Amino acid sequence: MSSETTESTGMIDLLAWFETNKQKLVSGGVIVLIVGLVGYFFNWKTTQSELDASDALYRVRAAASKAEETTVDPANLLKVVSDHSGTAASGRALLFAANSYFNEGQYAEAQKQFESFLTGNPDSPLRSSAMYGVAACKDAQGQTSDAIDEYRRVASNFANTFIAFQAKLPLAGLYESQDKAKEALGLYDELSLPTIPASYSMEAGSRRETLLKKHPELAPAEEVEATMSAE
């Protein structure tokens, strides 16, 4: 049965109940009951809308996987956004579309979709991913100063989260590209702490070592002494 048919049936049932019991609806308490029932119906309708949107998103992604496509056609994802506007699944579809554009090298279009998500979903827990996406798009387009600002915003707004750790790696790389070795080293030091997940700390440690070979003057005194003692 389609969602439209199910929704219509739900409304008909509610109206039928009202018609059957209209003689009893004489007190404020019963009016409150009606409001509660109407609220229940619209809550159910919202839930059904979310299920329909999630199903549509799943079908689009499943079709691409079955066809062994390396990325989902962003046009199909944006259709889910259009057809199921206002649902959480439409927001996810928008992020997937932005990611697809990015993977296709269409960085300006990807940035547009990430920014659209941020505008339309001010309270979403996925905002950090969208903000990182904007930073990555600007980075890919060679907009270094803007990308630095965006990565710093992600690292600041979502401190001590995986997305913040992820943002600090490219941010450090951009600092290096601008001959800001000291700033880059500071980030690598932060990411090399034992409390940081290994996937980030190992990469940071490797980059830090390479950076200090280029700029030995930045090496902490204790590390210099340890190196000399070992020799």
Confirm whether 129 is domain-assigned.
no
pLDDT at 225 > cutoff 90: no
Tell me the residue range of the domain where 37 lies: 1-19+28-124
Distance CA 35, CA 111 (A): 43
- Side chain identity, residue 103: N
Confirm whether 138 is domain-assigned.
no
Are residue 100 and residue 156 in the same domain, yes or no? no
Domains of the chain: total: 2
pTM exceeds 0.85, yes or no: no
Are residue 195 and residue 114 in the same domain, yes or no? no
Which residue do the tokens 């960085």 mark?
107
pLDDT band at 12 (very low <50, low <70, confident <90, very high): low
Residue ending a domain, choose from 124, 158, 188: 124
pLDDT recorded at residue 184: 97
What is the number of residues in the chain? 231
Are residue 80 and residue 110 in the same domain, yes or no? yes
Confirm whether 15 is domain-assigned.
yes
Residue ending a domain, choose from 124, 156, 173: 124
Confirm whether 132 is domain-assigned.
no
pLDDT band at 40 (very low <50, low <70, confident <90, very high): low
Stretch 182-194: mean pLDDT, rounded?
96
- DSSP line for 108-152: HHHHHHHHHHHHH-TT-TTHHHHHHHHHHHHHHTT-HHHHHHHHH
pLDDT recorded at residue 36: 52
107-141 pLDDT, tens digit each: 999 999 999 999 999 999 999 999 999 999 999 99
Distance CA 206, CA 191 (A): 11
Confirm whether 135 is domain-assigned.
no
Are residue 95 and residue 147 in the same domain, yes or no? no
Higher confidence at residue 220 or residue 209? Answer: 209
Are residue 5 and residue 119 in the same domain, yes or no? yes
Are residue 169 and residue 63 in the same domain, yes or no? no
Are residue 34 and residue 105 in the same domain, yes or no? yes
Percent of the chain with pLDDT over 90: 61
51-98 pLDDT, tens digit each: 888 889 889 888 888 877 878 899 999 999 999 998 888 999 999 999
Are residue 94 and residue 202 in the same domain, yes or no? no
Are residue 42 and residue 116 in the same domain, yes or no? yes
Residue ending a domain, choose from 93, 124, 155: 124
Distance CA 214, CA 184 (A): 12
List Cβ neighbours of 106 (8 Å cut-off, separation of 6 or more): none
Confirm whether 202 is domain-assigned.
yes
Are residue 175 and residue 90 in the same domain, yes or no? no
Are residue 84 and residue 157 in the same domain, yes or no? no
138-162 pLDDT, tens digit each: 999 999 999 999 999 999 999 999 9
Are residue 54 and residue 112 in the same domain, yes or no? yes
pLDDT at 32 > cutoff 80: no
Mean pLDDT of the chain: 83
pLDDT at 6 > cutoff 60: no
